[in-house]
Every structure is written in structure tokens, then in C-alpha cells.
Amino acid sequence: MRKKLYLIGGIAAGLMLACIVSWVLFASANQYGVSDAELGSRGLAASGAAPPMSEVALEKVVEMPGAQPSAYNPADQAYAAERLIIRSGNISMAVNDTRAALATIEGLVEGMASEGAFVVSADEYGGTEGSQPQITLSIRIPASRFDETMNRLAELAVNVTSRNESAQDVTEEYVDLEARLESLEAARQRLLDIMAEARSTKDVLEAEQQLTQREAEIESLKGRKQYLEQSARLSSIWVDLQPYLLSQPVGNEWRPAETTRRAVDALLAGLRGFGDFMIFFTIAILPWLAGIGLVIFLVVRFVRWRARVRRGRASGPASD
């Protein structure tokens, strides 16, 4: 009797272990077998979490003259003293009224519009009829008024949760552009001279081909240089406005219909999950369990048969 109990207990433990293993396999299959549509939707949801940072603005520490020299001379100490500095800032703060703070910041930027300031983007997240939304916005302001603007933004807050400012010197890139432009313009002039003195069509065509390439490079460098000069007047600031908790009304809404709907959705999701598991178990696990159980059953029958045969042989001579 005790052996039978041990056998039944072993079979039950094996079935339980098989169920656990099958459930782990089922969960792993669901985790790594996500469809492309689900992956796409997850990517879109993740992309809406927060907007990307805008391109950094550039600022000159020393005011650049209106007319740049046509050639760069490394020995010119006055020109070498000019710097281009990338400046950007991030400030996250809690305010009593996020929409009112947004209006104040827009008014602040509008007051500097004549200097090139503008609002790049403004987005609202959350917020209901009784609560304020979280707002993120990006602004571009004159680089000379960067510190002033950061301080004025901080004055709007009940609590500044984070404030970061960064600066990066990109003077080397600007000076390199000047030197490359000088070299390319000299090469272009030489090609023009060669074309003027060429006596064969072949020489003209070869010089013209190289001239076209040099002019494309010159235009590209001039565009980058102009972008740096124009961006030097502006800095970028990202602002995160969060509603101050103590200024928000206490929630007193109770929606039993929504709670019931969520409960029904959870029940249906659980039933769907259990049904999927049973299908997975029946197709992927049950045949293996049946095969293993058959082998165990045959081994047990064989062992019991051998035991009966031995007992019969042992009892035969004893009875004689």
C-alpha cells in the first residue's frame, strides 16, 4: 500500500513539474514571439514618452565682427581669441498652474522675438477636467540672455526639481572651416587660370570637372559656416512643467462603471490566457508527457513482473 502511495505521489509531482515547465515555455514563447504589429505599436508608444532634444544652439563669447576676413592667419591673435560655444539648458520644475506658466514663458519669448527668439515646440501630457497637465516645451533665445532666461524660468517654479546647463567649445570646427574654405577657393582660382590658358578641349573638360567638384565642396562648407554663425546668436532650453501636488484638487470621483469594465476586461484576459495555455499544453507538452508516462508504465510493469517471477521461483523449491 505504501509503495502505491509513493508511486501516485511521484506521478503527481511529475505532472506538477511538467505543468510548471510548460507554463514557463508558454510564457517564453509569448515574450519572444511578439508580432511585428505589436512591436510597431510598442515603438510608437515608447516614442511618445518624451520628445527628442532639439539641435544645440551656438554662442560666441566674444562678439564676431560683421565682416569676416577672407583668409585665416593662425598668427592673428585677435581672431584666434574668438570662440564659438554651444550652450543648452534643461530645467524641470513644479508650478501651481502649468498652463499659466506656459503662457508666461511664451510671453517671455515673445518679448525677445526681435532678437530671434521663438518657441520650437510645446506638448501637453495627461491632465483631466480636475487636474492640470504636464507640459514640455523647447525654446530658442539669444545666447547673450541665456543665464537671465534660466533664472527667470526658475523664478516661476514652486520647486525646481532639476536644472542642467551645458557648454561645448566648437571653435576648432569653425576655424577648420575657414582654413578649408581658403584652400578650396585658392584651388578653384588655379583651376580657373588653367581653364583660361588651356589649349585643348581635353584639358578644359578635366579642369571643368575638378572645378565643379571644388565648387560643390565650397558651397557645402559655406553652408555649414553660415549655420554656425547664425546659430551662434541663439541657445536652446528645454522646460518641463509639472503641476505642484499641493495645488491640485483632491480627487473625489468614483466611477464604478469603469471599475466594472476593467474587471471584466481582466477576467476575459485571464480566460484567454488560460485557454491559450491549455492549447499550448495540449499540443506542445501533452504528447511528451504521454510518451514519458507510457515508458514509465512499461518499466513499472516490467519490474513488477520480474518481481513476481522471482517470488514464484523462490516459493517453488520452498514448497517442495
**Which of 168, 179, 175 has the alpha carbon at shortest distance from 81?**
175
Given a contact cutoff of 8 angstroms between Cβ atoms, the answer to whether 31 and 285 are in contact is no
In eight-state DSSP terms, residue 232 is T
Q: Which of 236, 205, 207 is nearest to 138 (CA)?
A: 236
CA 129 to the chain's CA centroid: 30
State CA 40 to chain mean position distance. Answer: 14
Task: Flag whether pLDDT at 310 surpasses 60.
Answer: yes
pLDDT digits (tens, 9 = 90+) for 273-285: 999 988 988 898 8
The yes-or-no verdict on residue 174 having pLDDT over 80 is: yes
What's the confidence (pLDDT) of residue 113? 92
At residue 7, the pLDDT reads 61
Mean pLDDT of the chain: 76
pLDDT tens per residue, range 61-111:
333 333 343 344 443 433 444 788 888 999 999 998 899 999 999 999 999
pLDDT at 136 over 50: yes
Nearest to 85 by CA among 176, 170, 175, 174: 170
